[in-house]
Amino acid sequence: MKISNKEIPEWCQVLRDAADRQKITHRAIATRTGLGLGKVQRIMNNHQAPSADDMIKLCPVLDLSTARMLTMLGHLDQVWERQEYNEHLEELASGMAHTAGSVELDQQHGAAFIAAKIVASGGYRVTVAPLMTGTGRFRRHVNDLIAVQPLAGREADGLRDHLEELVRVEMAWFQAGFIGFPETAASLGLPTPDPATVIAVARMNGIRRGSGSPQANCPRSVCVVGSHWAGSADVASWLAYAFDLDFAHVGFVASRAYARLLHKEHDVNAYERQQVARTYVAGAERLGRPRVWAVGGDNCHHTFDLLDDPRLVSEPHVVYLRATDQLMTWTAGVRYREKHQTTQTMAGDLNNMREERRKIDEILRRNKRLERRTVVLPVDLPEGSNFSDEAEDGRDAFYDMWALLAERALSDLHAVVAAHSPDRRSFDLDDAMRRMRDGGLAPA
């Protein structure tokens, strides 16, 4: 089989690099493999493609993965992807096992478990209250709030630091953190000396499993990407209800696996979040569990870099919540005022968000295959609320907007899934919309 020398295939370049790295000559390779000097020279000079038997003999000599090299030659379809995926899973599972060992019980709901541990420590009275968000048919029990009040004789000073030390692992496991807007806790009248010490525990957007019987013809993997306040976690959660798939947020999974605190910027390791995203991308086609997963914050561009992979043919389907300049400006102001970002100025934060958006736009322009399986929805500030008040978080207006975005995403995905299906079939849109609108409701 003759191959043009103008374009060196990947397998040939890897063989050359390995030989250079080991400083081994063609003659030495021929002697150790028994292939003959002429054949080795033709293979290494890109004049002949090795057979599977040839590659099996070359790999041990050049200290290369046989499975990887055979996959490059097309002899073992998906073997390298499966090996890579399993490696990701092993690392993630080791983190999960380590953290789970510190949490004695996972049967109780997270808020109840955290509250029980605080009470058991002595010296505190605890109040657990639901945070209802949204209006009309979108109103849901989104979070549980835990307010802590010192008993008589117990100082309130340093309460936040003490709670963080006391229930750090439990907060990480149950996707909990100190509330981002203390004004919300204050407006609810929760009994606490400091609203900033109220713990918010994810409920609607907590990690969860589907029933195991997802809707027919639904996508195996849907990735929802959006910057802060674009609503990626909320839109993904609604879509998971629509398809009856597992739901996860890469930040929440990393928090659980590596015992990181969501409310502390310096405690969140970008590599750990990226590791979760790599696992989900690698397992999107045929390997991993079917799921809807969300990416938010500063991980958006990195995730699109992972999605910009020629090996990904039809999965994951992507929903990109593309923030407008108005939303980005508001977000930068809120993050600066509430000290959600402590390492940069408001202007620097805004510039970073705009640059990340520009890079994602460039990836989608260049990668037409990825563009065709991506639903792009612009996200602005919600209508109908007065955001001139700096203390206004507008949670109901935002939540209604994210729920409507989820409905739009579901409708657009219906067409995208059909376009990528060999028989042009897609999921039952009416049934999926019904499941979505029933999602998160308490059983009758």
Give tens-digit pLDDT for 89-120: 655 666 666 565 555 554 457 899 999 999 99
Asked if the peptide bond before residue 443 counts as cis, ω within 30 degrees of 0, the response is: no
Q: Which of the two residues, 100 and 143, has the higher pLDDT score?
A: 143
**Contact residues for 324 (Cβ-Cβ < 8 A; gap 6+):** 378, 379, 380, 381
Write down the pLDDT at residue 2.
45
Write down the pLDDT at residue 74.
73
**Contact residues for 51 (Cβ-Cβ < 8 A; gap 6+):** none
pLDDT band at 136 (very low <50, low <70, confident <90, very high): very high
Backbone angles phi, psi at 54, to 5 degrees: -60, -45
Least confident of 51-55, 140-144, 362-366, 370-374: 51-55
Give the domains, in start order, of the chain with CATH numbers.
10-77 (1.10.260.40), 110-202 (no CATH), 221-438 (3.40.50.300)
In 3D space, the residue among 191, 188, 172, 186 whose CA is nearest the CA of residue 131 turns out to be 188
Round to whole Å and give the CA distance between 357 and 365.
12
Average model confidence (pLDDT) across the chain: 85
Q: How far is CA 157 from the centre of its chain?
A: 36
- In order, the DSSP letters of 101-115 are TT----SS-HHHHHH
Round to whole Å and give the CA distance between 38 and 15.
16
Q: How far is CA 317 from the centre of its chain?
A: 13
Residue 393: pLDDT over 80: no
Residue 3: pLDDT over 70: no
Least confident of 25-29, 265-269, 368-372: 265-269
- In order, the DSSP letters of 26-74 are HHHHHHHHTS-HHHHHHHHTTSSPPPHHHHHHHHHHHT--HHHHHHHTT
Write down the pLDDT at residue 155.
79
Residue 413: pLDDT over 70: yes
- The dihedral built from the CA positions of residue 321, 325, 327 and 329, taken in this order, carries a sign that is positive
Give tens-digit pLDDT for 263-313: 665 555 677 788 888 888 877 777 778 899 999 888 899 999 999 988 777
Give tens-digit pLDDT for 148-203: 999 987 878 889 999 999 998 889 888 899 988 888 888 888 999 999 999 999 99
Give tens-digit pLDDT for 307-360: 998 877 778 999 999 999 999 999 898 888 776 665 678 899 899 999 999 999
Round to whole Å and give the CA distance between 233 and 30.
56
Q: First CA to last CA across the chain, in angstroms? A: 68
Contact of 176 with 333, CB cutoff 8 Å: no
Residues in the chain: 444
Write down the pLDDT at residue 88.
62
In 3D space, the residue among 427, 227, 248 whose CA is nearest the CA of residue 323 turns out to be 227
Which residue type occupies 210? G
Write down the pLDDT at residue 9.
87
**Contact residues for 355 (Cβ-Cβ < 8 A; gap 6+):** none
